[in-house]
Amino acid sequence: MTAGVHDKTPGTDEAQSRLPRAWLDAALVGSFLPIVALIPALAATGGDVIGAAVRGDPALLPLTVAALVALPCLGAFLADALQDPGLSARARMGWAAALFVAAPVSSAVYWWIHVRPRPRTRTFPGRRQG
């Protein structure tokens, strides 16, 4: 584990204010849905996705739904990055900017560096154990 990334132990108030790892694992999958949905949309529209959007082509409905699912996933990563007690204020803003600019790629990188080392727990944010 990288020094200073997660120096808070589970069970403290700051550690419990962050999202559970299972939620971020699901958010990682959801953040890739628009990329997966783009492939059939390109095939259905003959590569003219923008023209199909202007025409209101129903072939873009799966892509629209995937994008709407990906937005809360981005929000989950943003919330976790902004609440990470192991990151400096500059690093938090850097991650927030990276997540906005390149969400699927940067969310995978954020997950690999900051979420993957976390232990899996069955607690929810704000709930005290014991």
Rounded to two decimals, the pTM is 0.71
Q: What is the pLDDT of residue 72?
A: 92
Q: Count CA within 13 A, CB hemisphere, residue 68.
A: 6
Q: What is the pLDDT of residue 126?
A: 58
Q: What is the pLDDT of residue 21?
A: 84
CA 67 to chain centre: 12
Give a three-class secondary structure readout of 30-50.
HHCHHHHHHHHHHHHHCCCHH
Q: What is the pLDDT of residue 128?
A: 56
Q: What is the pLDDT of residue 113?
A: 92
Q: Which two three-digit tokens encode residue 13?
A: 């108030």
Low-confidence ranges of the chain (pLDDT < 70): 1-17, 121-130
Q: Count CA within 13 A, CB hemisphere, residue 45.
A: 23
Percent of the chain with pLDDT over 70: 79
